Amino acid sequence: LQQTVSIEKEEFNLNIDLSENSKKLFIILLPIIFFLSGFSSLSYEILYNRILIYFTGNNTYCFTIIASIFIFGIFLGSFFYSIVRKRIKSPIFFLAISELIIGLWNIILPKYSDIINNLIVNIKNAIILNFFSLILIRIFSSILLIFLPVFVFGFVFPLIIDIFIAIKDYKKEKGVSLLYFFNTIGSVIGPLITGFILIHLFQVHFTLRIISLINIFIFIIISIFYILTNDLNKYKSFWL
């Protein structure tokens, strides 16, 4: 006698309170948002490598430290999102705020990096540092400069996927694959344009501000959509 046991898994979908027409419009916007998100995130990695050379040095340690912080920040951001995703009351507005944080941080990053650089110079002048102390200072300074935006990158990616799944209740697998496609294309085109064109024309710091405008543009587009399609009196905050 064979018994077939079926186990139903409880699925959790984000609460997306939109009309059908609004959902169709946002489905069109999501690939564009995901493309721009991929474009900006990998462009930032190129720019961070150039900026943090002043802190880590132009050697193997430089690229190792930056790449490790970048990946680890994304990991922690994704892990954070997995914990709080059920508490997000308004995921679309949460996405907009996340993009704004990334954009604003990278606008102020050049000035902030000057402050950190002066602090490190004062430390070096005050005490004699051995090799390991110098490495620790390089790691800590890099974390202070880029950890916040890469942490936000980490939960923006799964958040967009969750929003898409919550809105599109059919052909989810095909749609998610298409989103990955747009994100990957953006991740390829962004570094190429940034590395070969923008940095050559505008230098590193001004290019950083140009790329940060992409995130602010995403914030503006999502905010306009959110305001036009929601009764704002229903939401005192985007956090439950």
71-85: pLDDT as tens digits: 999 999 999 999 998
Instruction: Determine the pLDDT at residue 123.
Output: 82
Least confident of 1-15, 64-78, 96-110, 209-223: 1-15
pTM equals: 0.86
Confidence of residue 197 (pLDDT cuts 50, 70, 90): very high
Please provide the DSSP assignment of 25-62 as one string. Answer: HHHHHHHHHHHHHHHHHHHHHHHHHHHHHHHH-SSHHH
Distance CA 91, CA 103 (A): 18
Do the Cβ atoms of 66 and 56 come closer than 8 Å? yes
With a cut of 50, say whether residue 135 has pLDDT above it: yes
Beta bridge partners of 167: none
The pair of structure tokens assigned to 158 is: 């799964």
Instruction: Determine the pLDDT at residue 169.
Output: 62
Beta bridge partners of 92: none
Burial 26-63 (b: 16+ CB within 10 A, else e): beeebbebbbbbbbbbbbbbbbbbbbbeebbeeeeebe
147-193: pLDDT as tens digits: 999 999 999 999 999 998 888 765 566 778 888 999 999 999 999 99
Give the mean pLDDT of the chain: 84
Confidence of residue 41 (pLDDT cuts 50, 70, 90): very high
With a cut of 50, say whether residue 8 has pLDDT above it: no
Instruction: Determine the pLDDT at residue 185.
Output: 96
Instruction: Determine the pLDDT at residue 13.
Output: 65
Instruction: Determine the pLDDT at residue 172.
Output: 63
